Amino acid sequence: MQTNTLCKHPDMALNLIDLERYPISDLDHGDGAAFLQRCQQQIDETGWCSFEGFIRPDAVVALADEANALLPTADTLTIKRTIYQGKPDSSAQANDPKSREYVHRAVQLADDQIPKETLIQQLYQSNILTEFVRRVQNKSHLYHCADEFQALNLVSLEPNSWHAWHYDTTECTVTLLLQAAESGGEFAFLPNSRTDETEDRESVDQLLAGDMSKAQSFSRGAGTFTFFRGGYSLHCVSKVEGNRPRVSAVLTYDEQPNRVLSDEINIRIYGPRVEKILTERKLAQVN
């Protein structure tokens, strides 16, 4: 499919999203206002909203083709972290999740590796989509992430890969599934397992020990757009099976403008390529 057939409107959301099912272009009147109210109620009650078929079928094909053309240039990253995204705390007790490191591998493109003219970048920059994300979360302000690596990512989980249990560094994670695995690759989570002050350690410990009785899951096909309060609910993606990778876009927003993550976090997530960029930048500043 020629991507120019998908670029009739300046705001890419109007070109790619199924606006008849998901009327996000006008959230103040009629069907759009009613839809927004349902979304706000669901995310308040459950901590997530997932919209199957959010992207039109023809647009899903174009986005998946675009991602698959870019991903061969990506690094395969092996990320080691605790469920809290940090390094293991040697002073923590052996049964404390802070002392345990989990590993996952993914083929991943950071924002600086995704050309600005791509459909997925233009969708991420959409003012209409950003306003929808803001209003579903009832935020007074919401901005595109200013971090040059974190803002928009493309992530491919190859067969026999998975995402280990973890919390996200942001309150709400926004993802778009571009290509589903043949089997496996299911998203699972422990709802509201922590707050800003406390954590349900009993449930977390049971889950990490293999007891999935309190975990929940929802299936997603290609073109599904998902809000998830990943900063408060422990979650993972199960092992991808079959021959087709699971490909998703991760769209990051921030309540504060111009905030970036630390070099340490970016190096831990993105590995040697980003470490080289940041090191050379520091040396240039010194010289």
Residue 4 has pLDDT above 70, yes or no: no
Residue 220 has pLDDT above 90, yes or no: no
Mean pLDDT of the chain: 92
CA distances from 125 to 10, 13, 93, 121, 145 (A): 11, 9, 44, 6, 10
Contact 35/145 with Cβ under 8 angstroms? no
Residue 19 has pLDDT above 90, yes or no: yes
Residue 1 has pLDDT above 50, yes or no: no
Task: Give the pLDDT band of residue 5 (cuts 50, 70, 90).
Answer: low
Alpha helices (H) along the chain: 13-16, 30-46, 57-70, 119-124, 127-136, 201-208, 263-270, 272-286
Residue 95 has pLDDT above 80, yes or no: yes
Task: Give the pLDDT band of residue 94 (cuts 50, 70, 90).
Answer: confident
What is the share, in percent, of the chain residues with pLDDT greater than 70?
98
Helix (H), strand (E), coil (C) string for 17-28: ECCCCCCCCCCC
Per the model's pLDDT, the better-predicted residue between 17 and 81 turns out to be 17
* DSSP summary character for residue 202: H
What is the share, in percent, of the chain residues with pLDDT greater than 90?
75
What is the per-residue pLDDT for 230?
87
Residue 3 has pLDDT above 60, yes or no: no
Domains of the chain: 3-77+106-286 (2.60.120.620)
Q: For the segment 233-248, what is each residue's pLDDT rounded down to a tens digit? A: 999 999 999 999 999 9
Per the model's pLDDT, the better-predicted residue between 173 and 61 turns out to be 61
Predicted TM-score (pTM) of the model is 0.91
Task: Give the pLDDT band of residue 153 (cuts 50, 70, 90).
Answer: very high
What is the per-residue pLDDT for 47?
87
